[in-house]
Structure 1
Amino acid sequence: MAMMSLSRRVLLASAAILAIAACSTEIYAPAAQNPPPTEPFNAFGQFQLKPVTLNPDLAEHGYNQSATTAINNNLQPTLGILLDSWNKGSGRMLVVAPYIEDIKFIGGAARFWAGAMAGSSAVVMRVTYTDEATGAVIATPVFYQHANAMGGAWSFGATDNAMLKRMADLVTEYTRNNYVQTVGGPTGAPADRVRSGS
């Protein structure tokens, strides 16, 4: 009886995971390269990093919420520390607000039960840099990261989690590179992950 109950739970869990994978859509970046900000970030003397927020249409899946928390936690010791090092205590305030526009994140349990059949993980995050005093938008770069299904299966989800760390590193690199001069930067998307027509 206990064995039948366990088997039933396994089947139900597998069916739920496969249903999520079947309902997911391919996620693409709008471009391969981000344009430069309207002015270099060193024009500002104060910096504020907002918590990462998630598109509410995607918040129903717990894995997506967990991924949002993980990206936020990864940003604090990277971008957060960088911005703190630039804070002069006076001057214009630049507010940095990361927003996850699209995401499909395969968590560890899904990888354990379904492996590669659970699909790949991907995330698109837009970061808005705003002059707090005027409301002027200085930059709105979009960043993309992806973890393929087979890699996620072989690593039991480690590559899915590594994707979230790479996202934080990508945003931090863009911010650092545009501090003294406006150069833009990569979205992180390979050619086959850029939306057709972009």
Structure 2
Amino acid sequence: MDKKKLLDAISKALEEKGKRKFVQSVEFVMNFRGVDFTKPEQRLNLDIPLPHGKGGKEPRVIVIGDENFCAEAKRSGADQLLLPGDLAALGGDLTRLKAMIMKSVLLAQPNQMGNVAKSIGQYLGPRGKIPKPLVGNMKDSIERTKRSIRIASKGKYLPVAHALVGSESMNPQELADNIEAVYEAVTRKVGQPNVKGAYVKLTMGKPVKVTV
């Protein structure tokens, strides 16, 4: 990917954004050829950390664990904590659970994964919200989670991928670095020759083609 042409495309998208009453997201869109997402081995299911985060579009991180684990998670930057006893209550209150997880990412103490599956796994699974085990340095893991995005093949497995790469409040260089991180991760999976085209756009803006 030509960095200068990428920066030119980002600058054009930002210039043509128009005035809105909210901070628009910046999206990077890729479409493919020679890739069959109906085949499980070719589908995308990637978690990609963005070098500069999401420009205020970060998700809330909910950590599930026992009291000691949650106390450490709170000190490490978790936004919300759930104890084992909370899970059964949430399983009986799907309206509350839905609102809680809508813009959140879930992480769990490894020995609580079975409890999560038993209590609310049936609801979380179809929505792609099953928590990941929280291992290693807790502060680093939570920080990485907040600046990461997930790209997954959805719907009827159309040969296209959409990625949130930041917001209009970020400068073009930061957005370019984030886009390059996404592009490199995706092309490692599908192969660069299979990228048919790429575009950058704001939430309410028109797509601007990126030379790949």
Same fold (TM over 0.5): no
Highest RCO, 1 vs 2 (Cα 8 Å, sep ≥ 6): 2
The structure with the largest helix share of the pair is 1
Q: Normalized against structure 2, the TM-score is what?
A: 0.25
Q: Normalized against structure 1, the TM-score is what?
A: 0.26
